[in-house]
Chains A and B, each alone.
Chain A
């Protein structure tokens, strides 16, 4: 598995898209800091970017990589290799190279700007951790979609739809259901609704740092326990891990059954 991981990783490192991705984050970080002159405000803007763009790039890149390296995959399949190690190796290669572009691209400008001297360092590292989680989750989901669809166009379509659903539509439905059932106690429902969507989950994780004063304004024992203590942080991180593990398990399962 590590050989394939290494191969995929270096293959991607040599590819143009990793550099484009890296350069994009580098530019974004520099421009944000240049325009805002303020670390904490830049972190807020960055949060918006990370929870929307990272999933999008993760899905598209994952699907693209799978379809592009299909011939090579078929070649590998002919060798005496375990199927799970082939696909996991490819998946990890993509996910790790994307995460690296993210961490380096955003990290470098912020470090030069004086991140280590400021108190925004915890917010910023939380941001990067969330970004890495989202990359892992959405690349895995993309691999799932690609494995299940032979048709490239269909695969891309589903990938974009998945992103659109989790990033935008889900919140709309969620908001409508909250408004519709507003006469009932909703704090459990709203927390469950959040946990079921990795984008919302990472948003909440960052909210815990940035908007804690607003979140504590709502009366509700469960909310208070979730947001007022470390409980929320622990639950969010473990749910994000579950969100990584589930699609990865499906990759293993699906790749074993699939007829090439």
Chain B
């Protein structure tokens, strides 16, 4: 028996090696026999490698219909001349590496993309540079792929005539890492996509969201930077999303949030930094979310809770120099605040255990007034406002009276 097993293994090895040896390389360049990307793909057999030499290739509707590795040398330019979609991949095991793709056509009826993957598995899209795009990398009904080290620079100005940088639609187990995305509609957009990992990306200056989840469950995003977007990250109608170690910065404007949560359940938000956003986290109809060890620094509102948010826990967060720590629009309160550090806390610690002896009330009367009449924001930090806030603190009338942090920390929490 052992001998037989060995034979089988050798046979497989020979087969695999033989197969690779058979796989050929095809070179495409302006002076070669094959002058176009599509020509190179047509000439290739399954599992071949197609090299594209430096140069400009004006092509649209390139179809990749067999497993191939397409490698660009010194970033050859694939120019779509604003006519339509550029590369469509419909086969499994395709790798695309090192292309400069630009001028994707804009359409109001079709979502033209620089690269579209349709019902495929095990793909790798890496080291691409995309410019002047409508949609960038559009992954639909696909599985087990990787999208990494891409640079996507759009020129979007309005939501209605721009597309998303990386879009996943009904795609599962996709890894999106180390991408750099700027000036598109949504930097990364996931719709009906589960078990994806989004890591180490930089998404900035986007018209709408840096990262956007819709109906997507069990995804993880961590170590990303979201800066100066319409809103940093929007998570909507999704379950069990894990958000770790991200930085949300300078998302400024009337409807701007660092993080927008809408109808989210069982998420974990940990070790993130929210800095100088108009609203750090805006949460609506979201339940059982754990907010732990996050930094909220110099935001307009650190956390804004709008209606029907139950059983959320806020533990061990730092709230530093926010104009408002919390805004609540209802009197019903079922969330837990415990052991956070609040820079606005004015209590004392007589027994020296590092925990303030007086509970802290994160919701001020003024934040309630501003919710009702937004123009009153102009009275922020006025002495009169401090006086009414103080009287509300002493005997709460308008704000939920059980909304308390009973163990406010005296020193900033480090982890």
Q: A residues within 8 Å of B by Cβ?
A: 40-41, 44, 47-48, 51-52, 167-169, 171-172, 174-175, 178-179, 182, 186-187, 189-191, 193-194, 200, 203-204, 206-207, 210-220, 223-224
Contacts and interface: CB of A to CB of B under 8 A. Distances in A.
Interface of B: 250, 252-254, 256, 276-279, 298-301, 321, 323-324, 343, 369, 372-387
Given A179-B369, A189-B375, A213-B276, 8 more contacts: A48-B383, A171-B379, A178-B379, A186-B375, A211-B381, A214-B323, A216-B253, A217-B377
B374 A215 contact: no
Top 7 A-B pairs ranked by shortest CB distance? Answer: A214-B300, A214-B323, A171-B384, A186-B375, A213-B300, A219-B254, A182-B373
Given A44-B321, A217-B278, A211 B379 contact: no
Contact of A40 (B321, B377, B381): B321
Contacts of A172: 384
Given A186-B375, A218-B254, A213 B299 contact: yes
Given A175-B384, A211-B323, A218 B253 contact: no
Contacts of B387: 168
Contacts of A215: 300, 377-378, 380
Contacts of B372: 179, 182
B104 to A, nearest CB: 33
18 contacts: A168-B383, A168-B384, A171-B382, A175-B369, A175-B384, A178-B373, A186-B373, A187-B375, A190-B376, A200-B378, A212-B252, A213-B252, A213-B278, A214-B299, A215-B378, A216-B252, A217-B301, A224-B254
Contact of A52 (B300, B379, B380, B383): B383
B254 A216 contact: yes
Contacts of A200: 378-379, 382
A141 B404 CA distance: 45
B20 to A, nearest CB: 57
B55 to A, nearest CB: 46
Contacts of B278: 213-214, 216-217
Nearest to B386: A48
Contacts of B386: 48
B241 to A, nearest CB: 25
A10 B279 CA distance: 52
Contact of A178 (B299, B376, B381): B376
A236 B372 CA distance: 27
Contacts, number: 108
A220 B380 contact: no
A186 to B, nearest CB: 4
Contacts of B379: 171, 174-175, 178, 200
Nearest to B257: A217
A200 B381 CA distance: 10
Contacts of A223: 375
A215 B300 CA distance: 7
A214 B385 contact: no
Nearest to A220: B375
Given A214-B278, A214-B323, A216-B300, A194 B378 contact: yes
B254 A217 contact: yes
A172 to B, nearest CB: 5
Nearest to B298: A213
B383 A214 contact: no
Contacts of A179: 369, 372-373, 376
A217 B383 contact: no
A203 B384 contact: no
A214 B377 contact: yes
B377 A203 contact: no
A203 B375 contact: no
Contact of A190 (B323, B375, B381, B385): B375
A211 B379 CA distance: 12
Contacts of B373: 178-179, 182, 186
Contacts of A217: 254, 256, 278-279, 300-301, 374, 377
B327 to A, nearest CB: 10
Contacts of B301: 214, 217
Contacts of B298: 213
Nearest to B322: A214
A47 B381 CA distance: 9
A203 B256 CA distance: 25
Given A171-B385, A179-B373, A217-B279, A191 B378 contact: yes
A160 B175 CA distance: 67
Nearest to B252: A216
Given A171-B379, A171-B384, A203-B382, A213 B374 contact: no
A168 B379 CA distance: 11
B376 A175 contact: yes
